[in-house]
Structure 1
Amino acid sequence: MRKRTIIIAASVTCALVVAAGLGVLIWWLVTRDDGVEDLYTVIKLEGDGVGDIKSTAAFTRIRDVGDVFWWFYPTVANSTLSMPIVLWLDGVTGVPPSLLANLGMIGPYDTNFNERSDSWINNYNLLFVDAPVGTGFSTPLDNSKIPTNVDENVAHLLIVLESFYSVHEEYRDSPLYVLGQADGAQSAVALAIKLNELKQAPSETDTESESEPINIEGVIIGNGIISPAVAMTKLGFYLEELGYIDGKGRTAVENLSEQTNALVNSGSLEAAFNNFFTLDTFVNGDGGAVAVNLRNIVEKVTREPSESRAYFNRESYIRSVFGVEGVNLMNNRVAPALGISSDVVYDAHRADVAQAVRGTYMTPFTDKIEHILQNTNLTVSIYNGNLDAITNTPGQLEWVNNLRWAGQSAFSNTLRRTLIVNSYVEGYFRETERLKFYWINAAGQSTPLDNPAAMYRITTRMMPIPSI
C-alpha cells in the first residue's frame, strides 16, 4: 500500500444490505486493486502536536459524506502491539471524544497540555473518533450527509476503522474494545456486532489484497443511553429519594416518563425524543428541582434560563470541567497544534446532528445487547456513575436485570462485590465471564473524570492486559 503525505487508501467496495423493518447495514470492507474509485482518503495532520508523546491525528475523508476526525495514541507500555486498543465513542448529547475523553479524562495530556500521570495510555492504545460526522472536528459535506440513525453512523465508523488500519496495519491483530459513553453506547454496541460479523465471516477470496478482519474482543457501555425511556421510569423515584424533588415533583416526572415510555412502545419516537431532550428543563421546572445538573446531581449549579440547559446543560458542564469554553479551547489551541485548518469550526453542527436523529434516537438497544450475549463470544461490560440522573443506576438495572440470554440467571445470582481502592469503597461490581456491571460511587455521567481511581482499577477487569 503506497503512503504519501495524503494517504490514498486502497479502494474499498461496500455492499449494503437493508433488512426489512430493521434498517440493518452490513458493510463488507474488502480492499481491491481493480481500479474502483477510492471510497476514502486518509489525510494525516502534520502539526507539531500537543506534546512529545507519539500520536497520529488524521481525517478520514469519506467519499460523498465528509471528513471524520480521529486521534490515536500508542500505549507507552512494553509490547505495544499486544496491548488492547480502546476505541472511544460519544454521541449526540455528549462532548466529543477529542475533548472530554482525551483531554478531559483519560488521554496522555490534560487541557493545559500537561502530562496526565493516570492516563489510560499507560496500559492501552487509545483511539478517539469524533462521530457521528458533524460532531467535534468531524465535518459533513452538507447537513444531508449527517447520519439519521445508528446504522448510518456505524457504516461511517467501519470505513474510519479500515482507514485507521491502512495507516497502522501493525495493530490489525491487537485486541479491540469499543467503548461508548452516554448515547455513544448505541453506536458502540452496533459497531461491535458488525465487527464480529466481519471477523466470523468466511473469506470470499484467498487473495493477498483482501482486508483482514479486526480483532474485536468486547464492548464497554459507560453511563450508556441504551433504553432511555425505561431508565426514565426510575428517575422520579431516584430524585425523590435523594431529596431533589418532593412527592408532587415525583408525580410530574413519573407522568412524563410513563408518557415517554408509551410513545416509544407505540413507535412515536420523535415525540419521545422531544420529551427526553426537554428532561433537564422539565425536572428543574415542573419537577421543582430548580437547579439540578442531571449529568452529576451533586454538582452545585446556579439557576439557569431554560435555553441554556440544551443537551442536558452541556455548555455549563464543559465550563465546570475545564474552566474554559471547550469550543474555544479546541479551535484556538488544539486545532493549530495539530495543523487543522481554521476553516474547520469545532462542533459547529451539533444542533444539526440532534435534528437529524430525532426519529431514531429513542430506539431501545437492549435487543442488540441480547444479540451479543446470545450469538457472539464478545464481552459486555457496563459501568454507571451513581450520580448520573439521566442514566440513573436504578433505571439502568431495570433493563440490565431483564436481559434475555442463557447466562442471565448466573449473572443475577452472582454475588455483588465491593470495589476498594486504597482502602476506600469506590463502588461495587457483579461479574460473570460474559457480562459485567460496575456501580461507581462519587461519579456522574463522565465517570473516568469524576472517579479516576475507580475507573483505573476496573479497566483491567473489563479489558484484560496480556501477560508479557
Structure 2
Amino acid sequence: MASLHAPLLLPPLFLSVLLLFLSNHSVHVHADTARATGTPDGTEEWGYIDVRPGAHMFWWLYYSEKVVTSSNLPLVLWLQGGPGASGVGYGNFQEVGPLTVDLKPRSSTWLNAAHLLFVDNPVGTGFSYVENSTLLTRNNKQATIDLVAFLGKFFGSHKSLKSTPFFVVAESYGGKFATELGVALKEKIDSGSLNINFKGVALGDTWISPIDFLYAWPPLLQSFSLVDEEGASSLLRYADSAQSEMENGNFLNATMIWGDMEEAVLKLADDVDFYNMLKHDKSEELSANVHGLARLAARHLSVTQSSDLAEVMNGPIRQKLGIIPNKISWSESSNLVFGALSEDFMKDTIKQVDELLTAGVNVTIYSGQLDLICCTTGTEAWLQKLKWSGLPGFQVAKRTPLYCDNDRQTAAFVKRYKNLSFYWIMNAGHMVPSDNPCMALKMLKLITGQSGSSFFSES
C-alpha cells in the first residue's frame, strides 16, 4: 500500500487492468425508459428515466398523506453517498422513508413533513444501471449532468410538482453531488431553461473537502482517547502525504493514501466505527485477496451493507415494483461506481458551496457529533475556507440550543446567518436520521419553513 516516505505511484498495469475491466463489464439489458407505475391509491410512483442512451436511472416518489392539508408541502430529493450507495434502498428503508427494513411503519419518516423522492445515483447504483460500464460516470460533473437530465424529465412528467418547494438533501458523498447539482439547477433556472421552485440544499455529514477530514481525524481521535499523541502524529503523516499528492494533481494516488490512512486508524483505534466513534466494529472481514480500489470501495461502502436489506430489496420490494429487469440485482453498494469515480474522490466542492451562497440559495449544513468519517471539526474547517461575503457575519452569529418534543435534553445547536445555517446534532453519528430521528425531523421542518417561525434570519 502507500508509503509515507515517497509518492505513491500506481503501476500502469494496475490502471490498465482497471480500465479494461470497466470497459468490458456489460449488462446488456435494454429498458423501456417510459416505464413508470405506482400504487393504486396514487401515494407512490416509481420508474426508470433514461438520462443518456443506455443509462437508466431508477426513482421512487412518495407523496405525503399531508398533501390534503398543505398545498405548499415541499418535495425533498434524497441523495445517498458512497459514491455507489443506494438511496432507494438505504436512505429509504434505513433512514427516512415510510417503512423500516422490517417493512413496518416508521414513526419518524420525513413524509411527516414532505413528499420524498429517492433516486439511485449515479447510474450503476442500486436498481439504476448502464447497458455497458463504459457509460458509468467518471467524475462528479458527469454525474451532475445525469441528475439534471433526470430532474428535467421527472418534472416534465410531474408538472403539478413544478411549483412545489423543492429541496435537495444529501448525506456523506452525496453532498458533493448536491453542491454541483445545486449550482447547475440555479444556472438553468436563471437562464429560463428549467422551471421549478428550487428552495435550497441541505448537506448532512458530507464529504465536501476530504483533506480537511483527514487532517481532523488525528486530533479528534486523540480527544476521544482512541489514539495517543504518537498515534496521532503517525496519522498526520498520511494526511500530509495525501495533501502532497493532491497538490501535484495525483488525485487517484491521494485516494489510495486515504485508504491506507483509514486502515491505520482501524489498527490504532481497535476498529473504531467510522460512523460512530463510541462504537467499535469487529465485523469487517475483507479477504486478503481484495486489493486496491476494490478494497477501498468494499470498506467505505460497508456502512450500507445489510443482508436483511438486500433480501428485502431483491424479494418483496422487487416484486412490488414489478419493472426491474431480470438481470439487474439490487446491491447495497456498487464497487464499479466507486472505482469509476475514484479520481474525483479526494477533490473538494467548496467552490460550489460558495457559488450557492453567493447566488442566494439557502444552504444548510448539519453534522452528527459522533461521526468520524465526515467529522464536525473537519466540516468546520472547510467552512472557514469559504469566500462568501457573509462568512464573517456567520462566524459571530449566536448559537442556539434546540430540543425535541417535551425533552429538555439538548438535541442540537443551530447557528444561522442570511442564507447559511449550521446544525450540530447531538447523540448522532454519520446517519443523523437513524441516530437522532426526532431532531432530524424537526430540523427538516425548520429547513422547509414548517416550524412556525422564519428559518433564515439575520444575526
Tell me the TM-score range normalised by the shorter chain: 0.7 to 0.9
One-letter code of the match for 1:344? I
For residues 245 and 308 of structure 2, the distance between their equivalents in structure 1, rounded to whole angstroms, comes to 36
Q: Is the 8 A contact 1:281 1:306 kept in 2?
A: no
What is the Cα deviation at residue 305 of structure 1? Answer: 3.6
1:102 matched residue in structure 2: 92
One of 63, 78, 82 as aligned partner of 2:72: 82
Q: Give TM-score scaled by structure 2 length.
A: 0.84
For residues 194 and 121 of structure 1, the distance between their equivalents in structure 2, rounded to whole angstroms, comes to 27
SS at match of 1:233: helix
Q: Deviations over 1:293-322 (max 9, x none)?
A: 111122342264454975474575446xx6
Question: Is the counterpart of residue 431 in structure 1 residue 416 in structure 2?
Answer: yes
The structure carrying a bigger helix percent of its residues is 2
Change (3 A) 1:306 1:245: farther
Change (3 A) 1:303 1:134: closer
1:261 matched residue in structure 2: 243
Question: Is the counterpart of residue 384 in structure 1 residue 367 in structure 2?
Answer: yes
Question: Is the counterpart of residue 295 in structure 1 residue 257 in structure 2?
Answer: no
Q: Deviations over 1:370-399 (max 9, x none)?
A: 11112x121110001111111111111011
Unaligned 5+ segments in structure 2 are 1-31, 453-459
Question: Is the counterpart of residue 332 in structure 1 residue 321 in structure 2?
Answer: no
For residues 356 and 301 of structure 2, the distance between their equivalents in structure 1, rounded to whole angstroms, comes to 35
What is the Cα deviation at residue 235 of structure 1? Answer: 0.5
Q: Give matches, 1:66-81, under 5 Å.
A: 66-77=55-66, 78-79=68-69, 81=71
What is the Cα deviation at residue 53 of structure 1? Answer: 7.8
For residues 80 and 43 of structure 1, the distance between their equivalents in structure 2, rounded to whole angstroms, comes to 30
For residues 188 and 429 of structure 1, the distance between their equivalents in structure 2, rounded to whole angstroms, comes to 21
One-letter code of the match for 1:361? F
Q: Is the 8 A contact 2:73 2:165 kept in 1?
A: yes
One of 119, 144, 157 as aligned partner of 2:109: 119
1:399 matched residue in structure 2: 382
SS at match of 1:41: coil
SS at match of 1:370: helix
For residues 83 and 180 of structure 1, the distance between their equivalents in structure 2, rounded to whole angstroms, comes to 19
For residues 48 and 260 of structure 2, the distance between their equivalents in structure 1, rounded to whole angstroms, comes to 34
One-letter code of the match for 1:412? Q
What is the Cα deviation at residue 63 of structure 1? Answer: 3.8
1:364 matched residue in structure 2: 348
Q: Give matches, 1:149-298, under 5 Å.
A: 149-201=139-191, 203=192, 212-285=194-267, 288-298=268-278
1:3 matched residue in structure 2: none
My pick for the range that moved more, 434-443 or 328-337, is 328-337
Q: Deviations over 1:273-298 (max 9, x none)?
A: 1122344322112xx11211111122
2:399 matched residue in structure 1: 416
What is the Cα deviation at residue 439 of structure 1? Answer: 0.8
What is the Cα deviation at residue 94 of structure 1? Answer: 6.1
One-letter code of the match for 1:302? K
1:148 matched residue in structure 2: 138
My pick for the range that moved more, 457-466 or 397-406, is 457-466
One-letter code of the match for 1:391? C
Change (3 A) 1:314 1:398: closer
My pick for the range that moved more, 379-388 or 113-122, is 113-122
1:65 matched residue in structure 2: 54
For residues 56 and 380 of structure 2, the distance between their equivalents in structure 1, rounded to whole angstroms, comes to 37
Q: Is the 8 A contact 1:290 1:303 kept in 2?
A: no
One-letter code of the match for 1:363? K
Q: CA RMSD in A?
A: 2.4
For residues 250 and 90 of structure 1, the distance between their equivalents in structure 2, rounded to whole angstroms, comes to 30
Q: Deviations over 1:194-246 (max 9, x none)?
A: 11111111x4xxxxxxx651211111101000001112111100001101111
The alignment-based identity, stated in percent, is 25
For residues 80 and 58 of structure 1, the distance between their equivalents in structure 2, rounded to whole angstroms, comes to 26
Change (3 A) 1:65 1:301: same
One of 425, 433, 443 as aligned partner of 1:448: 433
What is the Cα deviation at residue 415 of structure 1? Answer: 1.1
For residues 56 and 351 of structure 1, the distance between their equivalents in structure 2, rounded to whole angstroms, comes to 28
One of 44, 48, 51 as aligned partner of 1:55: 44
Change (3 A) 1:139 1:237: same
Q: Is the 8 A contact 1:110 1:116 kept in 2?
A: yes
For residues 343 and 146 of structure 1, the distance between their equivalents in structure 2, rounded to whole angstroms, comes to 18
What is the Cα deviation at residue 112 of structure 1? Answer: 1.8
